[in-house]
Amino acid sequence: MSKPRQKAIAAALAVIVLTGAGYGYYARESAARENAQAVQYSAVERGDVTETVSASGTIQTPQQIKLSFTSGGGRLTSVSVKVGDRVEAGQVVATLDDANARAQMASAEANVSSAQAKLQQTRHGATAEAIAVQQANVDKAKAAWDGAIQAYENQQVLYNDRSAAQQAVVNAQNQVDTTAIQLRNAQAGLDSAKAKLTAAQAGPTDATLNAARIAVDVAERQQSIAEEQLDNARNQLNDAYGMPGPVGPDGLPTTNTAAIHQAESAYNQAQSSYNQSKVSLANAQKQLADLQAGPDKNVLAQMEAAVNQAQATADQAQASHNAAKQALTYGQQNYENRNQAKAQLDQVKNSLDQAEAAYHATVAQMNQTLAPPDSAAITAAQATVAQAVASLRQQQVALNNLKLTAPIDAIVAQVNGNVGELPAAASPLVVLNDANGDNLQVMAQISQSDVGKIQGGQAATFTVSTYPEKTFTGNVLMVYPEATTTNGVTSYNVQLTVDNREGLLKPGMTTSATITTGTRQNVIFVPAQALKEQNGVTGVYVAPDSVAGAQGTKSEGTAQPEQAAQTAPSGNAAGATNARTAKSAAPVFRPVVTGLFSTDRVEIVSGLSEGERYTLSIASTEKKASTSPFNFGAPKAGAGAVKTGGGK
């Protein structure tokens, strides 16, 4: 080929290359301008985020609350309410007999005090008093050991010296002789008592009866003679009173005093004899009557008692005599047989060994008392305290269970028991009904995904179509543990209270409930629609300059962002004044960790900082391929894509 032709071809190729490069640059600039017009940014702010759960339900009257004692066996000691009474939450409505529970409570408290004292003692070691007691035990054991040594030495002397054994035989023989004499005397006394009792039981003989009759006859004759003599003496006395005495100075006769005195003396003597004869006759008659009546029971009883006493004396004498003979036999055997003496010596030696062992044991206890606290003993004492405290708490619960308290403010609907009765197990004792219109309830259905956020006591608001401009307040009362499934959808019943002091709400109304499950103040948040998801990762699209300035955040596979320029506020929505428009690179996906969700806000726990810029909507970042036949300016594969797996 000629040189001019080569130059022409080279010039043509240069023109083509320059044309393709210019077109590629034009295509990139056009795409950047399109992206800049499509992406709007807002700054990350701080504020409050309140998460709520919405549900629908029906207004109901509160259910009846049936109160019964959990522990039985006691009688009612008080029932402080009646049907129609209003009660407050925590008010005691009835009690059971708690005497036994209080006694067990006192015992549990005593066990706690004892265990705590034992723990203190274990921690601080033995007290001076305990040491003194152990020392006294050591001294006592030492004295016993010394005594055992002396006893053994004495027994050895007795074993080696037989004179004592011989003297013991002599003494035993003397005791046998003495007890034999005592036995003979006791037996003689017994025989005499038995003879007297036998004679008394046999009764009087004929000779005795005849003698008694003769004695009565003699006494009767003596009484007749005495009576006759008394009559004569009386007559003589009367005669003496009528007998004249000597003539007096006046010439008249005087009283015969001497005769009267003599007659009176004779009369008194006759009267005494007569009285004595009457007594003698009475005694003779009684003696005869007693003999004829047989032996007296009291006398026989006394004689029998005397026989029993004599028998006891004889038995005692016999026992003493037998013991003396046995002692004599033992003494003779002891003297003649050395085995017995050796056995006694061995027995005393055994006592000596035991006393020595007891002394060493008390010394060991003393050393243990003086030893520092042991960690294992302290741990065991602590466990004992814990067990005692647990038992005390259990007894406290048992005592509290004897009081029936109202769980809510309510009205008493039923009372099924009186003081002194045993509560019936088949029916509740007290039934409460919160039927006043001030506080109604709502039974709402919460989805399975939201029920974990619901807790008792959470605040709630309610709206009803009847009063569209009115909002009512209340709280979560309880979450039912069992789920209900309808048409394949699982939900849980949640019971709420609603304030109806105005009396506007009626049972049966349908209501929409909004339950506040949590509130965070002054936290970083973004609008809910700013959250996006890529490959299962939740995040927010941020401005490229935020990626460059974010600490610890990288965007792999993304071109280096260019400087973004601010745009004028749009004025279309709140926060629009903070909006910016990127004029160059596309927004970058940033993984975030979310917290609470409100209806329009999402708390960002990590991943964003206050002031960073984010976008709500994402325009397509795909760049059209160059139509140049030389493919100049076309982006390489992946050059404009954002890696969504998070920064590395």
The whole-number average pLDDT for the span 367-373 is 79
* Structure confidence by residue, pLDDT tens digits, 271-323: 999 999 999 999 998 888 877 777 777 888 898 899 999 999 999 999 999 99
* Structure confidence by residue, pLDDT tens digits, 548-603: 445 443 333 333 333 333 333 333 333 433 444 444 578 999 999 999 998 889 99
pLDDT of 540 reads 95
pLDDT at 124 over 90: no
Asked whether the beta carbons of 573 and 559 are under 8 A apart, the reply is: no
* Structure confidence by residue, pLDDT tens digits, 607-618: 999 999 999 877
Contacts of 32 (CB under 8 A, 6+ apart): 583, 584
Report CA dihedral (177, 180, 182, 187) to the nearest 10 degrees: -170
The whole-number average pLDDT for the span 457-472 is 95
Lowest mean pLDDT among 149-163, 262-276, 493-507: 149-163
* Structure confidence by residue, pLDDT tens digits, 174-191: 999 999 999 999 999 999
Give the integer Cα–Cα distance in Å for 471 and 461.
6
Token couple for 194:
């038995």
Asked whether the beta carbons of 406 and 87 are under 8 A apart, the reply is: yes
Element (H, E) at 599: none
Lowest mean pLDDT among 32-36, 157-161, 163-167: 32-36
636 compared with 149, residue with greater pLDDT: 149
Buried b (16+ CB within 10 A) or exposed e, 302-337: ebeebbeebbebbeebeebbeebbebbeebeebbee
Which of 450, 502, 509, 501 shows the shortest CA–CA distance to 476? 450
* Structure confidence by residue, pLDDT tens digits, 225-238: 999 999 999 998 88
pLDDT of 252 reads 67
pLDDT of 507 reads 74
Three-state DSSP at 456 gives coil
pLDDT at 245 over 60: yes
Instruction: Please state which of the four CATH numbers 1.10.287, 3.10.50, 1.20.120, 2.40.50 is assigned to the domain occupying 204-334.
Output: 1.10.287
Token couple for 323:
């013991």
- State how far Cα 431 lies from the chain centre: 29
- Domain residue ranges in the chain: 204-334
pLDDT at 11 over 70: no
The DSSP line for 475-498 is EEEEEEEEEEEETTEEEEEEEEEE
Phi and psi dihedrals of 489, rounded to 5?
-105, 125
Lowest mean pLDDT among 73-77, 145-149, 266-270: 73-77
Element (H, E) at 148: helix 128-160
pLDDT of 274 reads 93
Q: pTM for the full model?
A: 0.34
The whole-number average pLDDT for the span 465-483 is 94
pLDDT of 26 reads 53
The average confidence (pLDDT) of the chain is 80
The whole-number average pLDDT for the span 241-252 is 72
Q: Which of 21-25, 252-256, 585-589 has the highest mean pLDDT?
A: 585-589
Give the integer Cα–Cα distance in Å for 491 and 352.
86
Which of 532, 463, 541 shows the shortest CA–CA distance to 52? 463
* Band of pLDDT at residue 167, cut at 50, 70 and 90: confident
32 compared with 504, residue with greater pLDDT: 504
pLDDT of 619 reads 56
pLDDT at 15 over 70: no
Side-chain half-sphere CA neighbours of 600 within 13 A? 3
* Band of pLDDT at residue 351, cut at 50, 70 and 90: very high
Q: Which position has the token pair 């005849």?
A: 210
Overall size of the chain counted in residues: 648
The whole-number average pLDDT for the span 206-227 is 89
Q: Which position has the token pair 């919405």?
A: 54
